[in-house]
Structure 1
C-alpha cells in the first residue's frame, strides 16, 4: 500500500468499482450472516427431512462433526480475510493462492451455487404461504403466486442499503431464534416415550444409506458463515470484524442446530424420529408443538417460519449480487455488473440479474407443475431440496479448494513457518471437505429417491461441474486473449486502485517530458 500522498491506495475502499465502506459493523454483519443460516427453517424444514429421507438418527452428532470441520477450515480462511478484502471472497482467495485461472473457475461455481440455493428458497416460501392461506382463509392459491411475490419483494430489498437489510434480517433472526429455543426446551421438559436420551450422539446412529446426502443437508444448514468476507469492503474494520463474525457464526450454528435436532429426538423418542419424520415431513415440528404449546404458539411459529425463509432469501440474494459485482469488476462478467448504485452503494446490477434469473426459474417450475394445490412435490421436494443440495455441493467444493489455496498463499509468500498451525488445520479441513463432497455425490440418488443409474443423480451435481468448466475455460481464454484482465482476477478493488495510481502518475509525468528535452533553461 502506498502511503503519505494523495495517491494512497486502499485495498477495500474505492470509487465506482467499490462497495461503499463503513456501512456495516460487527453486530449487523453477524445478524446478516446468521440470517442466511435461517435457524427456524433449518430446524423445522431441513432437520426433519434429513431424519426422514436419509433414515439417520445421528443428525445432532453430524452437526457437531461438521461444525468441527468448518472451525478447522476457518482458522486459515479467517487469516486470509485479513490480507484480502474482496466481495468475491472464496473465489478471490482461490485466485490469490492457486492462480487466476483457478479463480475464474471458482467464481462461476460460487455464482451458480449461491444463486441456485437462493432460488430454491422461493419454492418452500411459496408453498408455506399457500398452505397458510388454505388453512386460515380457505382459499386455494398456487404456490408459485406467493413465490413470484417473494421474488419481487426480494428485488426491492436487494437494491436498498445493506445496513437497512441488516436491521431487517436482525429483527427476524432474533425472533425466530427465541421461538425455536422455546419449543426446544418444551421438547426436553416434556419428552417422548423414551425420555431424555443422548442416543442421537452415539456414533452407531450414523449408519444408513444416505449418510453422504445427510452430510450435504447438514452442510447446507451451516452455509452462510463463510459469507462474512463477502462484506469486507463494506465493514468499518475488515481486519478484525470478519474473522470474529465467522467464528461466532460457526459456534452459534453448531450448538443451536445440534441442540435443536437432539431436542426433536427427545420429543419423538430416538426409535421413532425417523418414522415420525417420514410421516410428517416439514410438519413434524408444528405437530409436536401443537401437543405441547397449543394452537396459538403454533400459528405464531408458522408466521415466523415464513419470515425466516424470507430472511434467508434476502441474505443469499445479497451475497449473489456481491459475487456478481466482484466478477464484473474483475472482467469475468460484463463490466456494467461491476458498478454500484450511487444512492445506496449496493451492487444494483448484480441484484437485478439475480432477480431476473429467479423469476425465470420459478416460472419454469410453475409451468411444469401438474400436481394439485397443496402438493409439495414441485416447490419443496424438487425446487427447494434439489436446489439446496446442489448449491451446498458447490459450496463444499469451494471451501475445500479455498483451504488448499490458503496453504499455497502463505507458502508462496514465505509465511509458512509463522502460519504453520493454520496451514495444518487448513490441510485437515481440505481432506475432510473432500470426503464430504465425494460421499455427497455418491449418495445423491438417495435424495432423489431414484435408482443409482437415474440420469438426474448425475445431471444435478453436474451443474456444479459445468459451472467449473465454464469458468476454467473462460479463464484460459482470458489468459491468452486478455492477459491484463486475467492477471487481475481476484485482485478486485486493489487492482482498480493501482490502475488509478498508475494513471495519475502517468498524467503528472506527461507535461514534464517535452520540457526536459527542449533545451530551454530553467
Structure 2
C-alpha cells in the first residue's frame, strides 16, 4: 500500500458514527416513519383501490407482507455476519462484487434522494391546505417546504437520538389517530355504521378483481424505507441481534396495520360500489380516509387527522434524509463519492457532511419545480417517489441475489439452506418481477402514459448504475486497498 493510500484509509477509518445509541424500537421507528403509515392509508391505499384491485387491497397487503417476510429471511441471515451503514450497497458488494456494488450505491443515492425530495411536494400541499382550511392563512406550498427543509437540516445535522425522539412522537400520534378510526369502524359496523363487517375483501374473487399487479406494486411502495434496519446497523446496540429483530418487528407491524386498516376502510364504505365511489373523488382520492373519519369520528378528530397527515409526511422526510446522509457517509468513507462526505461531526458523531449535501440537493431540485410552477403533488411528489420506488425495488432484487452469492462463498457461516438459498432466491425472483413490471407500466404510475417521462425517468436508474460501475473501477485504479475492502465493515467475515 502506498503512503497516500494508507493516509486516505486511516482518515476514513477515524470517522465513526455514534455506536450503541439505537435499540430495536428506535430502528423500527425509522423504518415505520419512512413507510409513513397515515400517508400510506390516506394517500396510497385509495389510489391502489382505484387503479388496482378495489376491495381486494387488504388481501394484496397480505401477499406483499408475506413476500417481504420471505425477503427478510435471507436479508437478516446476512445481517448476522455483516454490519455496514451502506446496507443494500454493501450487501451487493459483498455478494456480487465491487462493480455491482458501485452500481447499487448510485442507484441507492438516486432512489432515496428521489423519495425524500418528492415527499416535499406532498408535505407542501398538505401543510398549505391545512393552514388555509383551519386558519385562513394563504401560505404557498413552497413556503411550507422551506420551513420543513430548515427543520430537517438541523435535525439531520445533530446526533441521531434527537431524530428518534421527534419521530417517536410523530409516529405514535399518527398510529393512534388511525387506530381510533379503526376501532370506531369495528365498533359501529360497516357502510357508515350498522352493517356487519365482512371478510369479502380477503376472498379470491376480491383479490383477483381489477389489476392485481398494480395493486401489489402500490402496496410494495408503502413499505419503502424497509432498508433502514441495516442503514443504522453501525449505530445499533447489538447489530447482529438488533437488526434482524427490528426488521421483523417493522415488517410485521406495518403489514398488520395496513391489512387491518384497509379491511376496515373497505367495510366502512362497503365493498360494493367502492371503485365507483373513489372514482367520484378524482383527482384527489385521498379524501376517502378523511370522509370515513367525518362519518365515524366527527369533525374534531378529522381535523387532527388532517394535521397528522402533514406531520406523517414530515416524519417520512426526516427518515429518508437520515438514510441518504448515512449512505453518503458510507460511500464517502469508501471512496465512491468525495471523501469529505465520509466524515462525522466531532461532537454529534453524525454524518453531518452527508446531511448538508442532501439538504442542498433537495433545495436545488425543489427550486426547479417551484420556479417552473409544477404541481407539487402531480409532478414533484408523483414523478420522484415513483422513480424512488422503482430504484429501491431493484436494489431489493440485487440484495437478495447477493445474499445467495455471499453464502455460497461462505458456506461455513450458516448451514440453513432455507435462510441462505431458498428464501433469498425466491425473494430475488419476486422483487425482480415486480421491478420489471413497474418499469413497463411507469407511464401509468406517474399518470403520464405515452409521455417521454415514462422512459426518461426510469432511464435515470440505468445512468446511475453506469456511473456507479465507473466510480468503482476508478477507485480500483486510484486506491486498490479501498477497492479491495469495498462494502466491508471492520470485523466482517
- The TM-score, its normalising length taken from structure 1, stands at 0.87
Distance 1:301 1:211 in 2: 29
Correspondence for 1:396:
393
**Matches of 2:115 and 2:443, distance apart in 1:** 19
Indicate which of 107, 111, 130 corresponds to 2:109.
111
Q: 1:146 to 1:493 in 2, by over 3 A?
A: farther
Residue 5 of structure 1: aligned partner: none
Residue 463 to residue 275, structure 1, CA distance change in 2 (3 Å): farther
Q: Does the aligned pair in 2 maintain the 1:104–1:332 contact within 8 Å?
A: yes
Structure 2 distance, partners of 1:218, 1:152, is 31
**Count of aligned residue pairs for this structure pair:** 475
Q: Quick one: distance in 1 between partners of 2:211 and 2:141?
A: 29
CA distance in 1, matches of 2:338, 2:366: 25
Instruction: Check 1:199–1:463 CA distance in 2 against 1; reply closer, same or farther (3 A cut).
Output: farther
Show structure 2 runs of 5+ residues with no match.
1-11
Per-residue deviation, 1:269: 1.3
Moved more, 142-151 or 334-343: 142-151
Q: Does the CA contact (< 8 Å) of 1:329 and 1:492 recur in 2?
A: no
1:168 equivalent to 2:166? Answer: yes
In 1, distance between residues paired with 2:83 and 2:107? 20
Task: Out of 385-394 and 235-244, give the one that drifted further.
Answer: 385-394
* Structure 1 runs not aligned, ≥5 long: 1-13, 371-377, 499-522
Contact 2:53-2:215 within 8 A present in 1 as well = no
> Is contact 2:158-2:348 (8 Å) kept?
yes
Counterpart of 1:491 in structure 2 is 488
1:369-518 mapped onto 2 (5 Å cutoff): 369=373, 378-415=375-412, 418-422=415-419, 423-451=421-449, 453-493=450-490
Aligned to 2:344: 340
What's the CA shift for 1:481?
Answer: 4.6
Confirm or deny: 8 A CA contact 1:60 1:201 kept in the other structure: yes
* Residue in 1 that maps onto 2:36: 38
Post-superposition Cα deviations, 1:411-447, rounded to whole Å, max 9, x if no partner, equal 1113387031111111111111111111111222222
Superposition pairs of residues 270-309 of structure 1, within 5 angstroms: 270-280=271-281, 281-309=285-313
Bigger radius of gyration, 1 or 2? 1
Contact conserved, 1:91 with 1:103, CA < 8 A, in 2? yes
Residue 199 of structure 1: how far off its partner (Å): 2.4
C-alpha offsets along residues 159-190 of structure 1, whole Å, 9 cap, x if unaligned?
11111111211121112111111112222333
The TM-score normalised by the length of structure 2 is 0.92
- Determine if contact 2:46/2:278 at 8 Å carries over to the other structure: yes
Question: 1:327 is matched with which residue: 324, 331, 336?
Answer: 331
What residue is the counterpart of 1:245 in the other structure?
Answer: 246
Moved more, 239-248 or 274-283: 274-283
Q: Which residue of 2 aligns with 1:510?
A: none
Q: Distance in 1 between matches of 2:52 and 2:366?
A: 27
1:24/1:163 contact within 8 Å kept: yes
Q: Distance in 1 between matches of 2:214 and 2:412?
A: 37
Identify if the C-alpha distance between structure 1 residues 479 and 163 changes in structure 2 by more than 3 Å, giving closer, same or farther.
Answer: same
Confirm or deny: 8 A CA contact 2:53 2:206 kept in the other structure: no
Distance 1:484 1:209, change over 3 A: farther
- Counterpart in the other structure of 1:506: none
State the superposition RMSD in angstroms. Answer: 2.0
After TM superposition, give the deviation of residue 474 of structure 1 in Å.
2.1
Matched, 1:232 2:229: no
1:145 aligns with 2:149: no
Matches within 5 A, 1:62-73: 62-73=60-71
CA distance in structure 1 between the partners assigned to 2:454 and 2:164 by the alignment: 37
CA distance in 1, matches of 2:490, 2:151: 30
